Amino acid sequence: MTHKGRIVSAVALTTLTLGLTACNDGEDAGSAQDSPSASAPASSDPGSKSPSADPSDDAAAPAGGDVAAPGTKFKIGDRAVLPFKYGTDKKGTVAVTVTAIEKGAEADMAAFGAKAKGMTPYYIRMKVENVGGTDLSYASLRLRGKLEGGGPTGVILIGDIQGKCDSETAPRDFTTKGASYETCSLSATKTDPIAVASFEEGDAYSDSPVLWTS
């Protein structure tokens, strides 16, 4: 299920923190606002009733395949089994396959306003599979982009670019083993190209993320 309506983005650069606000409902992009952080407003979508994803390494054991240890490195196209927790009541195990890291055009960032000038977007495309068979309906999983070698991009985005990189929540029937869906995580950079996708959710993985590289 695609997040519709307003996209609110927090862009953190080396010495400057900016808030970017844009509308994707057919109106002109909203004016940029100076703020240290920003979050998307509540939606009427059923998935909005759960708070942000917060996976941890104590999630249910996988029904098939070993959970990837923190720090494991994969190639794009590889399948990684990961512990997953969403909100306070949804916990299980998923398999994530990063299928592509695609470079977009600077013009694609227009919806984020003037403060996104000079940023190049990258689209991390992935397939997410329910491995544990627990109820993970309407959950949301995000990967972060990193520079070649694993360095940070200096940019944090919250939202998507409709038609280019749609961030989907798990469907209503994402409750059984083998259920799957496809989604996209948006990243951007003003410097070197993004070449790595990073899973950083949960205490163990925030310190030592699972990475996919070309």
> pLDDT at residue 203 above 60?
yes
Sheet arrangement for strand 79-86: 79-86, 90-103, 120-130, 180-189
Report the pLDDT value the prediction gives residue 10, as an integer from 0 to 100: 40
What is the arithmetic mean of pLDDT over 75-81?
97
**CA–CA dist 69, 62 (Å, integer):** 13
What is the arithmetic mean of pLDDT over 58-80?
79
Residue type for 202, please?
G
In the block, tokens 């984020």 appear at 112
What is the arithmetic mean of pLDDT over 158-165?
89
In the block, tokens 């799957």 appear at 180
pTM over 0.85: no
Sign of CA dihedral 67, 196, 181, 161: positive
**Residue 23 pLDDT class (50, 70, 90 cuts):** very low
Report the pLDDT value the prediction gives residue 65, as an integer from 0 to 100: 64
